[in-house]
Amino acid sequence: MKYSTSNKKEKLQNSGKLQKRLLNFLFIISLIIVLSTVINVTALYLNNKIKMYRTEAYGYTRIAADYIDGDKIQGYLDNPVEDDYFYDVKAFINRMQANTDILYFYVLVPSEEDPNEYIYIWDADADGTPGMAIGDTDDFSSEGAVLTEQVMSGGKSEKLIITYDKEYGFIAFAASPIYNSAGDPVALSTVELPMKDMAYTFYMFLISIVITVVFVMAIGMVAFYKKLNKNIIIPIQKLDDATKQVTTTLETGENIDPDIHTGDELEDLSNSFVYMEHELREYIEENTKIMAEKERIGAELNVATKIQADMLPMIFPAFPDRTEFDIYASMKPAKEVGGDFYDFFFIDDDHLALVIADVSGKGVPAAMYMMMAKCLIQTYTLSGRSPEEIFNDVNLKLCDKVSNNMFVTVWLGILEISTGHLTAVNAGHEYPLVMKPGGDFEVLKDKHGFVLGGLSEMVYHEYEIDLKPGSKLFVYTDGITEAQDVNAELYGMDRTVQTVNQVKDGKPEQVVNDVQRILEEYIGEGEQFDDMTMLCLEYIGI
């Protein structure tokens, strides 16, 4: 049965609807991405800025609080006479004001009669403005009164109060307690720090982020639409036009009237194939799909394997010009790509970061998650954070960005090369093995935190150990301890420690390779179910 004139008109009316839907969809997705990116980046920027000013402001107040003798405060209240000690402290806070951005720097005592009033003891005047004298009074702001009461009552709050002044812009207010010899808070060391670049840099930052995100998204969406139009819509239309020329059989080419009405180009495609020889068409189509899928999967696995290998340090010796330590690591995935990873890199000339981790799951998803976790850990480590701060920040990012119930166990250590001092944190990972000079490897049962990417409210804590020259560190993933032989017997922790001690006298490369060899002999004809990753460090010292 051939197409009628009315059928052709109806199909021409349907043409182009899919394109309009795709354009609307892309516009909505672009808008959502732009808004969410701007909001998240802006919130992160403001939080970091306020954190920076809080750290700076409270650093100044604590320095002054530690310098001032709290036992002398009451004497100045009872007899407000400027003596030698008074001028010594005055000179100290003046120097701090002169050498910093501090706007006002003063030491005060909250009034016992009026909680909203305070009494000056010292007031810096390095900027040329006359300072307040001993005994002069002034009033707190409402927020300042609350903060002062909390601090003077023994609270540990380091809340930053931010106010706005027409002349100076945003101003950060901070106060730290000054204690007497009995341990009682008797006065407050207080600064007001101008946040002079807050508003301007925020607006410039926001404008640049908006412009950048909109520009990148516009280019990306245009490219995506062109790709979609070229690879899907146009081929569908061409295929539809072609199928309208064929017949009810493969030989005659007679056209067939469609019977499916979806209202877009897919209707034309579906109707064109309704009355064709289904068995043959489905057989050819299914085999074509299977072959294409196999090729796609093979190509993706090859690319993923190369990407993963390129992300891990693979060149040894890693740092041939550094004689204070020797390091070696290896990773053998259970599949073409795995979820384990290791890393080591310099934070600065005297600090070396060591990382080993195990992502839940295997294959391409685990490899992608591994890349994200590795990049986050390296980025935050290079920013100068402590190990526990790194894990707190990375955990929040993973919980926020990933919603497929994946997580990662990680051990991170930062080695101070000049001293052998190692600061580490463990997020649900295997216990490290540590060998003292001349001794055996022993299990270090360190403090475990929860896995990264599991719960956003988790807080991680670091610990410290000292490596002496000749000490060695061996970290690994559970693919070592949970390896199985042909009888499904686990290798186990005790056997792992024994194996490492058998080869303890070798260099790190020999230790790792020998452990790998012994483990493979144990597995034999059995199957490797998990990635096997190891990292060994020998601390030689200066």
pLDDT at 9: 47
pLDDT at 245: 52
pTM of the full structure: 0.48
Element (H, E) at 129: none
Element (H, E) at 438: none
pLDDT at 243: 62
Kindly give the interhelix angle for 198-228 and 17-67, rounded to the nearest 10 degrees: 150
Side chain identity, residue 240: D
pLDDT at 53: 80
Phi and psi, residue 161, nearest 5° = -90, 125
- Span between the terminal Cα atoms of the chain, in Å: 90
Q: How far apart are CA 206 and CA 331, in angstroms?
A: 42
The full DSSP string for 46-77 is: HHHHHHHHHHHHHHHHHHHHHHS-GGGHHHHH
Output the CA–CA distances (angstroms, integers) from residue 358 to 355, 361, 475, in the order listed: 10, 9, 12
Q: Name the nearest CA neighbour of 347 among 418, 414, 411.
A: 414
pLDDT at 173: 83
Q: How far apart are CA 16 and CA 14, in angstroms?
A: 6
Q: How far apart are CA 189 and CA 178, in angstroms?
A: 7
Identify whether the C-beta of residue 532 lies closer than 8 Å to the C-beta of residue 483: yes
The 3-state secondary structure of 26-46, one letter per residue: HHHHHHHHHHHHHHHHHHHHH
Q: How far apart are CA 479 and CA 388, in angstroms?
A: 25
Identify whether the C-beta of residue 358 lies closer than 8 Å to the C-beta of residue 534: no
Beta-bridge partner residues of 110: 118
In terms of phi and psi (left: phi > 0; alpha: psi -120 to 50; beta: otherwise), the region of 125 is alpha
Q: Is the dihedral of CA 384, 385, 390, 396 positive or negative?
A: negative
CA-derived radius of gyration, the chain: 34
pLDDT by 10s per residue, the chain, length 542:
444 445 544 554 555 666 677 777 777 877 787 777 777 777 777 778 778 888 888 888 889 888 999 899 888 888 888 899 999 999 898 898 888 888 888 898 888 777 778 888 888 888 777 878 888 888 766 666 667 776 776 666 677 777 777 777 788 888 888 899 888 888 888 888 887 665 556 666 667 777 877 777 778 777 776 766 665 666 555 556 556 555 555 555 555 555 566 566 556 665 555 555 455 455 545 655 767 776 765 566 556 556 666 778 989 999 999 999 999 999 888 765 567 899 999 999 999 999 999 988 776 777 788 888 999 999 999 999 999 999 999 999 998 876 567 899 999 999 999 999 999 999 999 999 999 999 999 999 998 899 999 898 999 999 999 999 999 999 999 999 999 988 889 999 999 999 999 999 999 999 999 999 999 999 888 888 888 999 999 999 98
Q: How far apart are CA 338 and CA 371, in angstroms?
A: 11
Q: How far apart are CA 107 and CA 123, in angstroms?
A: 6
Phi and psi, residue 474, nearest 5° = -130, 115
Q: Is the dihedral of CA 25, 27, 28, 32 positive or negative?
A: positive
Side chain identity, residue 54: R
Q: Is the dihedral of CA 99, 100, 106, 107 positive or negative?
A: negative
Task: For the chain, count helices (H), then strands (E).
Answer: 14, 17
The encoded tokens of residue 3 equal: 């197409």
Strands (E), 360-444: 408-416, 421-427, 433-435, 441-443
